[in-house]
Amino acid sequence: MNAEVKKSFLVKGNDFSDIKKIIGVVSGKGGVGKSTVTCALARQLKKMGYKTGILDADITGPSIPRMMGVEERCEESGMGIMPPESADGIKIMSMNLLLQNEDDAVIWRGPVIANFVKQFYSDVCWGELDFLLVDMPPGTGDVPLTVFQSLPVDGIVLVTSPQSLVSMIVKKAYNMAQKMDIPVLGIIENYSYYKCPDCGRIEKIYGESHIDEEALAIDVPVLAKLPINPALAAAADEGKYFEFSEPIDVSPIVKNLFDVVLFDLDGTLTDPKQGITSCVQYALASIGIDEPDLDELEDFIGPPLKEHFMERYSLDEKTALECVRKYRERYNPIGVYENKKYDGIDEVLRTLKERGMKLAVASSKPAVLVNTVLEHFDLMKYFDVIAGSELDGTRTRKSDVIRYAFELLDGKGLSHDRPIMVGDRKHDVIGAREAGIPCMAVAYGYGSMEELSAEQPDFIAKNISEITDIIK
């Protein structure tokens, strides 16, 4: 469909909604557990820290509220219809939330149903969402056509099951999406197998899986093969689906979600161990503390210096500031160059720039020293802005540095609607959370996997190459 023609069909969203991505969950036929998969996707995105909502477009057979345990009815406000939330904070809009009784029948013709779906987008105040999942009715009729034409859908996920008949129907749904210029992000096979809880034996109750062949035929990735789970079905009937989750590869869904990447410096772009630990050792010696093993001082890589001197050695603020002064006495002329650029970091930065992303450094290190390191390793050319602390010790808190980076971007007229922070310590994760943005922790730096996992970052990159695998 011509882009201009397609744009003319789009309905205007609610003035108080800010939705970054709309993803349709589609099946060619009923009975494949599409709504269950929609709930699983929403749960996984929510657990990753994304603000998520579900628009239940199956007007005549809505099931999302029951599965998600939502009984509260919608309320009207000056901003529009306010969708209730599940126990884990997923916003839900469904016909069942407008009916007097959830078992009342909706006996409407297609155009009326399609119009209601549009209103669930235009009249509902979704607020700020990273993802709005649209649970489609099965088939390729009025409602899927209306959603594809009227909502700015970023992509769809196809849901299937092992039966051979489903293969043909999946291709029909795929072909419809292709004709409407809607990207197909991946395919999920539900009811793929049953695993006996006693002996662990795998039974293919619905026959052998054909999902790999189906996915290859339409050139889309397989996101998951989900088992038959009687406990999950029972929980959904009781409105306790939020207690369950199945692993689904959501990387194609979050692709292109970010437009700005903020990098920490020490332990993320460069390995500063020799310089930082030697300078900490030098500073401690000035106050009579002997630390002969530099490995024991690795924890100084990342956190603000003054606070860490105080915490690690129970120093008062005056003594800690003197340690910072002595640290810089050696670091500025010598330690700053006792540093190594991580292998592969140039390729990562170059790839992100080629993908059209804006790059920034957000470090608690003084900006003048950040600039010195970046220039020394010829990394300055990749970055749009450099945000650091001041030499007087102000703006060392990571969240403050992140906000300052946004101010610098604003000053250059560069947008930062979809930022992500990348860093190797818990301070980076905490700072990103305080600033209200997602964070990717990197496990190749100086934060242990235990430290990073405890702070629940949105992503963890185990090595440098995984940064560009995740941020696409």
CB 253 within 8 A of CB 317: no
The conformation of residue 31, written as its DSSP 8-state character, comes to S
Question: Going edge to edge, which strands form the sheet with 128-135?
Answer: 91-93, 52-56, 128-135, 18-26, 155-160, 184-189, 222-225
Q: What angle do CA 422, 424, 425 make, to 5 degrees?
A: 115
Task: Give the torsion through C-alpha atoms of 167, 170, 175, 180, to 10 deg.
Answer: -170
The sign of the dihedral angle between the CA atoms of 279, 280, 286, 288 is negative
Whole-angstrom CA distances from 86 to 169, 170, 438 are 32, 30, 22
The continuous run of DSSP H or E covering 152 comes out as none
Task: Give the torsion through C-alpha atoms of 148, 149, 153, 157, to 10 deg.
Answer: 10
Q: Which amino acid is at 259?
A: D
Whole-angstrom CA distances from 187 to 140, 249, 402 are 17, 10, 37
Residues 6 or more apart in contact with residue 310 via CB below 8 angstroms: 316, 317, 320
Backbone angles phi, psi at 112, to 5 degrees: -70, -45
The sign of the dihedral angle between the CA atoms of 265, 449, 307, 422 is positive
CB 428 within 8 A of CB 441: yes
Write down how long the chain is: 472
Catalytic-role residue among 264, 424, 428, 458 = 264
Q: DSSP states of 50-86 as a string?
A: --EEEEE--TTS--HHHHTT--PPPEEETTEEE--B-
Q: How far apart are CA 438 and CA 455, in angstroms?
A: 12
The sign of the dihedral angle between the CA atoms of 61, 66, 71, 75 is negative
56 is catalytic: no
Residues 6 or more apart in contact with residue 4 via CB below 8 angstroms: none
SS3 91: strand
The continuous run of DSSP H or E covering 202 comes out as strand 202-203
- The residues annotated as belonging to the active site are 264
